[in-house]
Amino acid sequence: MNYSPLLTVMVRAARKAGALAVQFFDRRHQLEVAFKGKDDPVTSADTAVEKEILFHLRKAYPRYGILAEESPPSTGKEEWQWVVDPIDGTLNFLHGNPHFALSIGLARGDELQAGVVYDPVRDELFTAERGRGAFLNDQRIRVSDRGTLNGALIATGFPLRRKHLAAPYLSSFAAVFAASADIRRAGSASLDLAYTAAGRFDGFWESGLSPWDIAAGCIIVQEAGGFCSDFQGGNQFLGSGNIVAGNPNLHRHLLTTLEGSELPQALGQSGTGPG
């Protein structure tokens, strides 16, 4: 496939750093693990993989800003900004579950421009650039065409670092569970979004995420013909970390179903920012 110069750089960064991530995964028992917070581990693999990604991005685009999970942010005044999660699914990674991804997004102001989500274990590369469609290993992907929640397979994430939200979260879970065929919690938000873009999930919702969890995955969903929004149906999902995604019909049904649960109100009371 003929990538644009921009995607060429992003894909190179993802593939080089992905190979490194797999090496670390194979010897994960030797990793140094520190904790940024309760249930929020960071390993020497996260920092080394991020360093490799940023090396390739900076080399090609030295003036772009950087918002990356394991690094101090740049000034934030740059028009173009990389939004990077070196290992999305660190808890899976540390437990030997081979379901994690590298996530590289690019935003211009508030608008997402391009995204790469790479699962190095399965060698699945999800890519998208604004206006140019979404791809999995260079094959065009599209969101599913399921019209209602009936029979739908929906992905979600638990509020693992905000356990005080368990009850309102479970209210949203119960509402979606009652209306759909089943729900998956696989442990990597970027892959949840990439799978939604590929039609492997009909939709996805989670709260309290960080921009690096969702930037790349969201443009992949959008370019695959789907919608991403916050819980009010607006476009503040990167800032709030509260996200609903799916094909256009499913997205609408998911939003309505979530509105009927206790989650949006609880998020309003506890602040909507990531945590």
Q: Which residues bind ligand IPD (CB under 6 A)?
A: 85, 88-91, 157, 160, 187-189, 206, 209, 213
CB 140, min distance to ligand IPD, A: 26
Could you tell me if 250 and 149 are in contact, meaning their C-beta atoms sit under 8 angstroms apart?
yes
Does 223 sit near Ca ion (CB under 5 A)? no
70's contact among Ca ion, ligand IPD, none, with CB below 5 to 8 A by partner kind, is none
SS3 state of residue 237: helix
Does 230 sit near Ca ion (CB under 5 A)? no
Backbone angles phi, psi at 201, to 5 degrees: -120, 150
Buried-exposed string 84-96: b where 16+ CB fall within 10 A, e elsewhere: bbbbbbbebbbee
Contacts with Ca ion by CB under 5 A: the residue count is 5
Q: Which helix (H) or strand (E) segment is 67 a member of?
A: strand 65-68
CA distance 12 to 55: 11
Backbone angles phi, psi at 250, to 5 degrees: -60, -40
Looking at the Cβ atoms of 60 and 160, the one nearer to Ca ion is: 160
CB 84, min distance to ligand IPD, A: 11
Binding segment for Ca ion among 7-15, 47-55, 57-65, 83-91 (CB under 5 A)? Answer: 83-91
CB 87, min distance to Ca ion, A: 5
CB 90, min distance to Ca ion, A: 5
202's contact among ligand IPD, Ca ion, none, with CB below 5 to 8 A by partner kind, is none
CB 50, min distance to ligand IPD, A: 11
Looking at the Cβ atoms of 91 and 179, the one nearer to ligand IPD is: 91
Task: Provide DSSP, 75-140.
Answer: -S--SEEEEEEEEE-HHHHHHT----EEEEEEEETTEEEEEEEEETTTTEEEEEETTS-EEETTEE
> Is the sign of the CA dihedral 180, 186, 189, 194 positive or negative?
negative
Looking at the Cβ atoms of 129 and 213, the one nearer to Ca ion is: 213
Does 50 sit near Ca ion (CB under 5 A)? no
CA distance 27 to 193: 28
CB 2, min distance to ligand IPD, A: 31
Looking at the Cβ atoms of 208 and 246, the one nearer to Ca ion is: 208
157's contact among ligand IPD, Ca ion, none, with CB below 5 to 8 A by partner kind, is ligand IPD
Helices (H), 100-236: 166-179, 189-197, 211-223
Could you tell me if 216 and 81 are in contact, meaning their C-beta atoms sit under 8 angstroms apart?
no
187's contact among ligand IPD, Ca ion, none, with CB below 5 to 8 A by partner kind, is ligand IPD
Give the footprint of Ca ion on this chain (CB under 5 A). Answer: 69, 85, 87-88, 213
